[in-house]
Amino acid sequence: MADEAGLEELMRRAVALGSAVRQTTPPNPWVGAILVPQDATTEFAGATEPPGARHAEIVALDAAGRAAHGATLVATLEPCSHHGRTPPCVDAIIESGVTRVVVGVEDPDPKVAGAGIARLREAGIEVVVGVAAAEVAASLGAYLHHRRTGRPLVVLKLAMTLDGRTAARDGTSKWITGEEARADVHHLRAESDAILVGAGTVRSDDPELTARTDPPALRQPLRVVLGSAPRDARVQPALEMGGDLGGVVDVLGQRGILQLLVEGGASVAHDFVSAGLVDRFVIYLAPAMMGGDDGAPVLKGPGAPSIDSLWRGDFISVTKLGDDLRVEVVA
């Protein structure tokens, strides 16, 4: 049996398996699983398949066959205990003869919420919870947030100069950042379930709002426009929405959107921030200065009335992409 360090390493590898299928599993979580037989001479890996197909635990169990008897199963998320599109994973685990299950984090989905762990323990299976929990929670952050709140994780993407400008006074804005930063934006789009912009951005920039990655993205996010987009706009077909932003986010959550990427423009970005709806900022910062007071600001709208009213978050990462920086901040 693996020791604590060995279990953490197995869990990190399971996280990588889950992350590799993130684009194909929503609204289900991108779970990874590794089954280690008693003799530990080999391993059987699994990752969640598209909705309606097998969950990660079942993929690993099917690969192991009889070798599952007496084995340890490592899974990033608590196995499900309810009938959804597929039968409960806990039933298959119990029937397989697995004797220990190692879980990264409990599933906050009300249909599970500890019931899967309880079922396994009632069947006499040892269950260890919380191994490499921070890494697992970071990987599954959008799913966990959605199941806890009913809303998607809202990510606001911003690209700006060092002095916080997004366009020159003549309206030109391409390109503030370099190729590596722009490529990273497309990967951010690919892992998001929906992209949202305002109708003004559609009319002025005519964005396509697709994920153009290499290798090609396995799916394209839902395109959402606040207001009405021209019928011949490149963003079409798009979901056109209006009204209170909180209500917009609620509706998208009900549609199974786990991560919403807000791309602007400046008024939309300001409104999301002032409404307290942004969970994470991804900021691409170019080593450039616009100068003056007539460039377009990153947030357009009333600012903080005093220094005591500043919005503050926490830096979680800073990454160099070519000449630019990618800065992540959480609320």
Tens digits of residue pLDDT in 47-87: 999 999 999 999 999 999 999 999 999 999 999 987 777 78
Over residues 216-231, the pLDDT tens digits come to 998 999 999 999 999 9
Which pLDDT belongs to residue 35? Answer: 97
What is the longest distance spanned by two Cα atoms in the chain? Answer: 71
Report whether 253 contacts 150 (CB < 8 A): yes
Which pLDDT belongs to residue 219? Answer: 92
Considering 144, 166, 187, which residue would you say is the last residue of a domain? 144
- Of the candidates 241, 24, 263, 259, the residue with the CA atom closest to the CA atom of residue 146: 259
Say what percent of the chain tops pLDDT 70: 98
Burial class (CB in 10 A: 0-12, 13-18, 19+), 141: middle
Could you tell me the pLDDT band of residue 2, with boundaries at 50, 70 and 90?
Answer: low
Could you tell me the pLDDT band of residue 150, with boundaries at 50, 70 and 90?
Answer: very high
Which pLDDT belongs to residue 175? Answer: 78
Q: Is 57 tagged catalytic?
A: yes
Residues 257, 315 within the same domain:
yes
One-letter amino acid identity for 119? R
Which pLDDT belongs to residue 87? Answer: 83
Residue 167 has pLDDT above 90, yes or no: no
Residue 239 has pLDDT above 60, yes or no: yes
Considering 94, 126, 144, which residue would you say is the last residue of a domain? 144
Residues 199, 75 within the same domain:
no
- Of the candidates 35, 39, 24, the residue with the CA atom closest to the CA atom of residue 58: 35
Residues 172, 318 within the same domain:
yes
Which pLDDT belongs to residue 171? Answer: 64
Say what percent of the chain tops pLDDT 90: 78
Which pLDDT belongs to residue 309? Answer: 85
Averaging pLDDT over each range in 1-15, 165-179, 232-246, 303-317, which range is the top one? Answer: 232-246
Considering 144, 174, 194, which residue would you say is the last residue of a domain? 144
Residues 156, 122 within the same domain:
no
Residues 240, 94 within the same domain:
no
Number of domains in the chain: 2
Of 19 and 174, which is predicted with more confidence?
Answer: 19
Could you tell me the pLDDT band of residue 173, with boundaries at 50, 70 and 90?
Answer: low
Domain extent, residue 75, equals 4-144
Query: Which region among 33-37, 111-115, 156-160, 270-274 has the lowest average model confidence (pLDDT)?
Result: 111-115
Query: Which region among 18-27, 108-117, 218-227, 294-303 has the lowest average model confidence (pLDDT)?
Result: 294-303
d(CA 101, CA 129): 9
CATH number at residue 193: 3.40.430.10
Of 108 and 309, which is predicted with more confidence?
Answer: 108
Task: Please state the φ and ψ torsions of residue 242, each to the nearest 5 degrees.
Answer: -155, 180
- Of the candidates 164, 190, 194, the residue with the CA atom closest to the CA atom of residue 176: 164
Instruction: List, in order, residues 6 or more apart from 69 with CB less than 8 Å away.
Output: 38, 96, 97, 98
Q: Mean of the pLDDT values across residues 265-276?
A: 93
Which pLDDT belongs to residue 290? Answer: 84
Residues 127, 158 within the same domain:
no
Could you tell me the pLDDT band of residue 11, with boundaries at 50, 70 and 90?
Answer: very high
d(CA 165, CA 286): 10
d(CA 215, CA 160): 27
Residues 129, 14 within the same domain:
yes
State the first-to-last Cα distance of the chain, in angstroms, to the nearest integer: 40
Over residues 99-142, the pLDDT tens digits come to 999 999 999 998 888 899 999 999 999 999 999 999 999 999 99
d(CA 183, CA 193): 18
List C-alpha distances in Å: 291 to 162, 164, 170, 209, 327.
10, 10, 14, 29, 22
Residues 127, 176 within the same domain:
no
Residues 184, 248 within the same domain:
yes
CATH number at residue 135: 3.40.140.10
Residues 118, 183 within the same domain:
no
Q: Helix 56-64 to helix 4-19 angle, to the nearest 10 degrees?
A: 110
Q: Which of 8, 57, 135, 263 is catalytic?
A: 57
Residues 11, 140 within the same domain:
yes
Residues 9, 81 within the same domain:
yes
Which pLDDT belongs to residue 172? Answer: 63
List C-alpha distances in Å: 129 to 11, 34, 117, 118, 309.
11, 15, 9, 12, 40
